[in-house]
Amino acid sequence: MTPKPRTVALVAAAALLTRRALRRRVRVSPLWPLPALDPPVSGRPRPRALRLLLTAHETIADGVVQLRLEGSALPRWEPGAHLDLVLPSGLVRQYSLCGDPADTSSYTVAARLVADGRGGSREVHERLAAGMELEARGPRNRFPLADAPAYVFVAGGIGITPVLPMLRALPAGAEWRLLYGGRTRASMPYLEEVARLAGDRLTVVAEDEDGRPDLAALFADTAPGTAVYCCGPQGLTAAVEERLPAGAALHVERFAPRTGPGGDTAFALELRRTGRTVPVPAGSTVLAAVRRVLPDTAYSCEQGFCGTCRQRVLEGEVDHRDELLTDTERRDSMLICVSRAHGGRLVLDL
């Protein structure tokens, strides 16, 4: 018996609807009929965006500009905090707050020009001008001033910015000393104010005059429990870590992501939702490998500071190199712009 036209039409329509439903289901979970995964992790909850007016843009040292950003009822902050500043190009860069924490009408930050950098500092120096409105996020603090019986501060160049509010906040009678280094005295911002605050507790090392700082002398007679604060370029922070006295507590603010103890090695990266496995070469990043397959994957700072590229880890051990995630967050997620795998394989929820 020949099927009636209406029956044929109904069967065809049902088959079409089934195929469409199946395609939608596969898009949700490429591993279907296995259970669909939970919604993926991408980025961190962003703090409330601030609209700030740039009221002053001035050179305060060779290659260093200071920005005054004004607003109303701005969030308070503690020494060591920083802002995420959204530049007109869309780049997001992090700058330590170096003004008065009690001032809720303005924030002050400073930026050094990095001639061979990734463009953020050049934009700050050359494209920003008084009268512009900028977006900022924060403040956030991953470098807070701890209670300690004594302090040693080590600042390299623009690394003085998070340290300066700490010096102002130290209680009278606190035991502390500061080593402040730079390429030249003219390139060291806030040097006069630092000298007034520190007096004879300050050691200034201008590389063109004095060579490298003597960390052994700085750390001589450092008592157990002393808090050592260091902010500066990688060579300086590595030297401080190497010479840190026994019993001292080190607090570091880095200019760039830390490197792993074993360097970079290649590994395989599985993107579970996508059903693809891609190589991550020794000279590349997880972010670059992911974006070859998923070009719309969000990222911003590429330094492990902002959290935009955070992703959930399903399998594998992570070599965490960021300065942002908490220990709890690191149990099942990573910042793919800087962190890598310990071992030959990593599986992401992507």
Task: Judge whether residue 184 has pLDDT over 80.
Answer: yes
Average the pLDDT over 328-342 and give the result: 91
d(CA 274, CA 92) in angstroms, rounded, equals: 28
Q: What pLDDT, on the 0 to 100 scale, is given for residue 154? A: 98
| Residues facing 134 on adjacent strands | 52
Average the pLDDT over 148-175 and give the result: 96
Task: Judge whether residue 152 has pLDDT over 90.
Answer: yes
φ, ψ dihedrals at 205, nearest 5°: -125, 100
Task: Judge whether residue 252 has pLDDT over 70.
Answer: yes
Question: What band does 17 get if pLDDT is binned at 50, 70 and 90?
Answer: low
**What is the token pair recorded at 206?**
């201008």
Evaluate the omega torsion of the peptide bond into residue 213 and state whether it is cis, within 30 degrees of 0.
Answer: no
Task: Judge whether residue 248 has pLDDT over 50.
Answer: yes
Is residue 336 within 8 A of residue 305, CB to CB? The reply is: no
Task: Judge whether residue 206 has pLDDT over 80.
Answer: yes
How far does Cα 49 stand from its chain's mean position?
17
Among 91-105, 135-149, 204-218, 246-260, which stretch is predicted with the lowest mean pLDDT? 246-260
**What is the token pair recorded at 170?**
């130290």
Q: What pLDDT, on the 0 to 100 scale, is given for residue 323? A: 74
Average the pLDDT over 121-130 and give the result: 96
Per-chain mean pLDDT for the chain: 87
d(CA 100, CA 109) in angstroms, rounded, equals: 11
Q: What pLDDT, on the 0 to 100 scale, is given for residue 34? A: 44
The residue with greater pLDDT, 17 or 155, is 155
Question: What band does 32 get if pLDDT is binned at 50, 70 and 90?
Answer: very low
Single out the residue of 257, 345, 348 nearest to residue 294, CA to CA: 348
Task: Judge whether residue 33 has pLDDT over 50.
Answer: no
Write the pLDDT tens digit of every residue in 227-241.
999 999 989 999 999
Write the pLDDT tens digit of every residue in 72-104.
999 999 999 999 999 999 888 889 999 999 999
User: Which pTM does this prediction carry?
Assistant: 0.75
Q: What pLDDT, on the 0 to 100 scale, is given for residue 242? A: 94
Task: Judge whether residue 262 has pLDDT over 70.
Answer: no
Q: What pLDDT, on the 0 to 100 scale, is given for residue 260? A: 58
Q: What pLDDT, on the 0 to 100 scale, is given for residue 258? A: 65
**What is the token pair recorded at 346?**
């990593």
Single out the residue of 156, 153, 154 nearest to residue 176, CA to CA: 153
The residue whose two tokens read 């019993």 is 247
| Amino acid letter for position 265 | T
Question: What band does 318 get if pLDDT is binned at 50, 70 and 90?
Answer: very high
* Cα distances (angstroms) measured from residue 59 to each of 9, 64, 68, 85, 109: 77, 6, 12, 19, 12
Q: What pLDDT, on the 0 to 100 scale, is given for residue 41? A: 62
Q: What pLDDT, on the 0 to 100 scale, is given for residue 68? A: 98
Q: CA end-to-end span of the chain, whole Å? A: 51
| Burial grade of 193 (CB within 10 A; 0-12, 13-18, 19 or more) | middle
Q: What pLDDT, on the 0 to 100 scale, is given for residue 304? A: 80
d(CA 332, CA 316) in angstroms, rounded, equals: 10
